[in-house]
Structure 1
Amino acid sequence: MMSRTQPLKAQAGEPAAAPMARYAMLWRWHFYAALFVMPLLIVLGITGTIYLYKPQIEAIAYPSQLYVTPEDAPRLPQQTLYDIARDSTPGGVPILTAEIHNAPDRSAQFTYLDPVEGKSSIFLNPYTGEVLAKMPTLNFNATYWIGLARQIHRGLLLGKTGEIIMELAACWTLIMIGTGVALWWPRRKKGLKQAVIPDVKKKGRPFWREIHATMGIVLALGALFFVTSGLPWTSTWGAQFKQLVAQVNLGYPPDPPGATSARHEGHEGHEGHEGQPAAPTRVQDLPLDKTAWGAGLLTVPQSAVSAGQTASAHAHAGHQDAGSDTDPAHQAGRPVGQDHDAHGAHGAAQMDMNGDMSMSGDHNMHAMPAEPVTLDQIMTLAQSSHIPDEYSIALPANRNGVYSVSYYPGDPTGEKVINVDQYSGKVINGVSYNEYGVIAKIISFAVSLHMGTYFGWVNQLLCAIIALGLCAMAVTGFVMWWKRRPAGGLGAPRIPDTLPNMRGWMIGLVVFGLIFPVTGLSMLVVWLLDRWYLARYRRQNGLAANTV
């Protein structure tokens, strides 16, 4: 793994020998970090930029699916559109969510689980009910190519293994940033101007070093934010982190009473057994695009449901599975009887001091109609709850389930989820930004900034500059390495004659490794290999066996 390198020698009596030696050792760690991170940074930068511009790219790539010509006639009722979509799914599989877009030129969209293609969307003309398209959406995204970019960004399409690789890449990027700033730091004596304006008069490798160093110091803070804001989404460290903050009541509200976790690492908490969708009931499973957290799992007590049913419906309730064709609500063409996915809601039940589920308004648990309310009624309720547009309605999972309305605007302070009784149309409970813990609020802001949705196109542009700037850093680093590499060797930075005192750095790296255990293990492997190579090199060259 390690290359044969030459010792870094200082001139006799040179007072800067120790700093030079420290520089050399920091450079080695910077080199090792870059060696691993460089290709992954390019992948992360490109796919991240694609996802940043999701609305613009989708508008260009899928105009016939997402957009229609506005008409003077009113749009069809959402429930009518739902009925058409349900009748148009392959084999009549149930609809999972209704994606609400009220703009006059937007199509109506519903998601379902295709028995062959997996998670898919169906698009309808909201004025005529014409089916515009059906297409797979690749793990809970509106469109296939955007979903592909997201999956590559998250895990290289390698499942759990890819997610761990990307988590390692993120953490090693932090090491690369820290050592890179340390390598640049002596230049501070020459002023800020040289730090931000490269000397383009230099030729060859020094020219590329100027570009690399200048870009690195300019992008350092933005890159640090990008990496740290992405870490809570990782499948190992991120999952543990969210569980920890939830335990100290600084995260998202708790699971609904009686819910069982259907979380599956490596699939963003959304995929159940044998490809069936399973709702992520734990709020720690917040996915990358901030779609909802656990749909349709909050239930109204069965006794309350039965009390409002007709005699026939009551008889069926005790003998039929949820969502079967004999379910009276299903017979009536109402949206019940399916599991849910990433577009469902948080589902967090608010509890009173006695542990009972709180109900808002004058909700009457003993006078429920036999059929669920319509999607149009849910939309009216959403509007009255200050949820104007661009939201998702997850349909009830079964006869005891609820409608879950999820709203995630660019400004995270407006985030809101409400759970609605499917029979009475009353709000059972909900959760909003104000109910988040401190850490959850920070994460929500970080998500919006990371995704470029907080302050519009300027946010997108800044994030794109950072993402593509990191790609450029990887390219310039590669060019520098290519120009200095020895024939047939790795070209690791040279070894100093005398190893310097690096205890401060070593302590910092140990603490970092303890905070990020998976990365810490990889750091230990690299350190042991480096120590082995140094010992071997010194034996061959008769150098003193100093320790770091």
Structure 2
Amino acid sequence: MSVKPPGSRWYNAVWRWHFYAALLCVPVVLWLATTGAIYTWKPQIEAWLDRPYDSLAVAPSVSADAQVSAALAAVPGARLHKYQMPDAPGHAARVIVSEGGDQTRVYVDPATARVLKTIGEEDQPMRIISRLHGTLLAGDPGSYLVELAACWAVVMILSGLYLWWPRGGARLGGVVYPRLGGGKRLFWRDLHAVSGIWVSLLALGLILTGLPWAKAWGGYFKEVRAITGTADGPVDWKIGAAPAGERTMLGDHAEHAGMGMRHMTARPGELDRVIATVIPLLIAPPVMIAPPAMATQAWTVTSDAADRPLRTQLTVDGTTGAVLTRRDFAQRHWVDRAVGYGIAAHEGALFGLPNQVLGTVTAVLLVMLAVSGVVMWWRRRPTGLLRAPIPLSRPRFGVVLIAAVSVLGVLMPLFGASLVAVLLLDRVVLRRSFAGRWLGLRTV
């Protein structure tokens, strides 16, 4: 009669859940790491794509009204939605016009009012990458799936740290760096463990800072803020996938107290007056100017800087050019500021090039972690079974892991619900079926 080592049952259970988490999230993690790495380099990619429109001859500009008129003529039936000021001399103005709920970006030469290019706002390459990353181009269902995968990735990371945490006087080899001279099995084991050790905190940071966008968690967060009285007006990040025709309306919601009011037809001369007021203020680009809503005189000027702590918003009287209100990032509620810092770091914009490099390295390590884990499982899997391979050592302190996962289940309700569902599936269905043996839940 064989006697199992102390703690082996618990350790095997953790190993199995690590394996479950990998099954659920590795394909999506590979997708998110790839699309996220691409999006991290958005400024450089967009600058390269827009180079024909940002290397124009420097000359005195025609009026902004003339630029807007040219853009409206290029999209019959449209009205001005936003005017994006040129970031530098020789750069085209971007005029965003709306027609039937859809927005079109029109590139206009500010010196001649010549239309250079038109493209739907949601057809821009980096907008597509953003939707691929956040919703898998599947709307809110895609957002739910991404959120589930992200939450289970947290379980995968925590359980992986528990399983692989160095103990028993372990040396740096296999923990801080992979050992290259011990054969293929040791190489893949070390590549997986070392990638996990290095990427754990960075990946957890990326996952947590991405949650405000998620449909379920973002809505949960919004309700909690409403209940606790910490809401501070409309947020400036998108939650889930907006319905068709409303994806680019977030700015309007922020501009007009969340009411989403329709912009008025711009009155002649007012846009130029607002621009003259804004230029000396040196607001972080890109600077978006939206015409008044309803019958008000106030134009809304918003910095759309990727580094969100640089953002500011003001309203300007179109008839006099006077600044009516101004609100900088530092004046927002501390919760909004915390989320803003997190989103900027998530997108690689908080501290410039080093942030982009760090985000890319994190994505590469996640890919290495996922690929090496699959290879290691494939090489060590029991013949004819899907289950995790037999572990070689048995750490303790499982209570800490249980507590961490339980807390995550409360803080992330969608994950908590999926965890309960998988637990029931594990206990009630899989253990009593052939799949239970295939997964290693029973031996006979």
- TM-score strictly above 0.5: yes
Per-residue deviation, 1:213: 0.6
Q: Give 1:412 deviation, angstroms.
A: 3.9
Deviates more, 1:405-414 or 1:103-112: 405-414
What is the identity, as a one-letter code, of the residue corresponding to 1:39?
Answer: P
Q: Does 1:336 align with 2:336?
A: no
Q: Which residue of 1 aligns with 2:233?
A: 254
- Kindly state the Cα deviation for residue 41 of structure 1 after the two structures are TM-superposed: 0.7
Looking at structure 1, the residues matched to 161 and 313 of structure 2 have their Cα atoms a distance apart, in angstroms, of 42
Whether the 8 Å CA contact 2:84–2:287 is kept in 1: the answer is yes
| Alignment correspondent of 1:481 | 377
Query: Take 2:385 and 2:208, find their aligned partners in 1: how far apart are those partners?
Result: 34
Specify the SS of the correspondent of 2:96: strand
Displacement, 1:102?
2.8
Report what 2:295 is aligned to: 399
Q: Which residue of 1 aligns with 2:195?
A: 215
Give the one of 402, 408, 417 matched to 1:521. 417
Q: Is residue 267 of structure 1 aligned with residue 241 of structure 2?
A: yes
Is it true that 1:444 corresponds to 2:424 in the alignment? no
Aligned to 1:346: none
In the TM superposition, what is the alpha-carbon distance from 1:384 to its structure 2 partner?
3.8
**What letter corresponds to residue 264 of structure 2 in structure 1?**
V
Counterpart AA for 1:163: S
Instruction: Tell me which amino acid in the other structure corresponds to 1:450.
Output: H
Q: Is the 8 A contact 1:296 1:394 kept in 2?
A: no
Count of residue pairs the alignment pairs up: 433
Give the alignment partner of residue 157 of structure 2, picking from 177, 192, 208. 177
The residue matched to 2:255 in structure 1 has which SS?
A: coil
For 1:372 and 1:470, locate their aligned partners in 2 and report how far apart those are by CA, in whole Å: 53
Q: Is 1:26 aligned with 2:14? A: yes
Q: Contact conserved, 2:173 with 2:179, CA < 8 A, in 1?
A: no
Q: Percent same amino acid at aligned positions? A: 29
Question: What TM-score does the superposition give when structure 1 sets the normalisation length?
Answer: 0.71
Deviations along 1:210-238, one digit per CA (max 9) or x if unpaired, are 10110110111111110111111111111
Which residue identity does 1:121 align to in structure 2?
A: R
SS at match of 2:56: coil
Correspondent of 1:135 among 97, 108, 119: 119
Shift, 1:501, TM fit: 9.4
| C-alpha distance in structure 2 between counterparts of 1:451 and 1:188, whole Å | 39
Match of 2:65 in 1: 79
**Contact 1:232 1:238 (8 Å CA) reproduced:** yes
For residue 44 of structure 1, what is the aligned residue in structure 2?
32
1:69 and 2:56 matched: yes
Residue 190 of structure 1 corresponds to: 170
User: How far apart are 1:173 and its partner, in Å?
Assistant: 1.0
Structure 2 matches for 1:391-470, cutoff 5 A? 391-400=287-296, 402-409=298-305, 411-470=307-366
Pair 1:97-2:85 in alignment: no
Does structure 2 retain, via aligned residues, the 8 Å contact 1:279–1:295? no
Q: Distance in 2 between matches of 1:298 and 1:479?
A: 49
> In the aligned structure 1, how far is the partner of 2:51 from the partner of 2:307?
27
Does residue 295 (structure 1) correspond to residue 255 (structure 2)? The answer is yes
Displacement of 1:193 = 5.0
In structure 2, give the amino acid aligned to 1:336. Answer: M
Larger radius of gyration: 1
What's the secondary structure of 2:183's corresponding residue? coil
Secondary structure of the equivalent of 1:129?
coil
Is the alpha carbon distance of 1:376 and 1:459 closer, same or farther for their aligned partners in structure 2, counting shifts above 3 Å?
Answer: same
Which one-letter code corresponds to 1:69 in the other structure? L
SS of equivalent to 2:97: strand
- 8 Å Cα contact 1:297-1:397 kept in structure 2: no
- The answer as to whether partners of 1:298 and 1:401 remain within 8 angstroms in 2 is no
Q: Deviations over 1:60-96 (max 9, x none)?
A: 33433x423333x22223232112212221x231121
Are 2:19 and 1:123 aligned? Answer: no
Deviation at 1:380, TM superposition (A): 2.4
Q: Distance in 1 between matches of 2:353 and 2:401?
A: 40
Residues 148-196 of structure 1, C-alpha deviation per residue, up to 9 Å, x if partnerless?
1100111111111100001111111111111111111144731445411
In structure 1, the residue matched to 2:274 is 378
Change (3 A) 1:169 1:131: same
Which stretch has the larger CA shift, 104-113 or 185-194?
185-194
Q: In structure 2, what is the Cα distance between the partners aligned to 1:56 and 1:278?
A: 22
Partner of 1:155: 135
**How far off its partner does 1:249 sit?**
4.7
Greater mean deviation of Cα atoms: 204-213 or 192-201:
192-201
The code of the aligned residue for 1:438 comes to: W
TM-score, structure 2 length as denominator? 0.86
Q: CA, structure 1 residues 276+293, in 2 after alignment: closer, same or farther (shift >3 Å)?
A: closer
| Cα separation, partners in 2 of 1:209 and 1:298, compared to 1, 3 Å | closer
Deviations 1:334-392 (A, max 9, x none): x8349xxxxxxxxxxxxxxxxxxxxxxxxxxxxxxxx4652222122223444154211
Corresponding residue SS for 1:109: strand
Could you say which structure has the higher helix fraction?
A: 2
Q: CA deviation at 1:297?
A: 5.5
1:388-437 deviation line (CA, Å, top 9, x unaligned): 54211122233336311111445544321112233343333232222222
Q: Please, which runs of 5 or more residues in structure 2 have no aligned partner?
A: none
Q: Deviations over 1:198-217 (max 9, x none)?
A: 11223233321110110110
Deviation readout 1:83-120 (Å, 9 max, x if unpaired) = 2212221x23112111122312321111123559x332
Partner-residue secondary structure (3-state), 2:295: coil
Tell me how far apart the structure 1 counterparts of residues 233 and 376 of structure 2 sit (CA, whole Å): 50
The offset of 1:525, in angstroms, is 1.8
| 1:236 paired to 2:221 | no
What's the C-alpha RMSD, in Å, of the aligned pairs? 3.4
Q: CA 1:298/1:489 → structure 2, altered by over 3 Å: closer, same or farther?
A: closer
Counterpart CA distance in 1 for 2:284 and 2:399 is 56
Asked if structure 2 preserves the Cα contact closer than 8 Å seen for 1:98 and 1:111, the reply is yes
1:188 and 1:110 map into 2 onto residues whose CA distance is 64
* Aligned equivalents of 2:240, 2:337: Cα separation in 1: 25
Answer whether contact 1:372 1:422 (CA < 8 A) is retained. Answer: no
* Superposed counterparts of 1:101-112, under 5 Å: 101-112=86-97
- 1:536 CA drift (Å): 6.3
Q: Does the Cα contact within 8 Å between 2:143 and 2:241 map onto a contact in 1?
A: no
Aligned mates of 2:321, 2:388 — CA distance in 1: 66
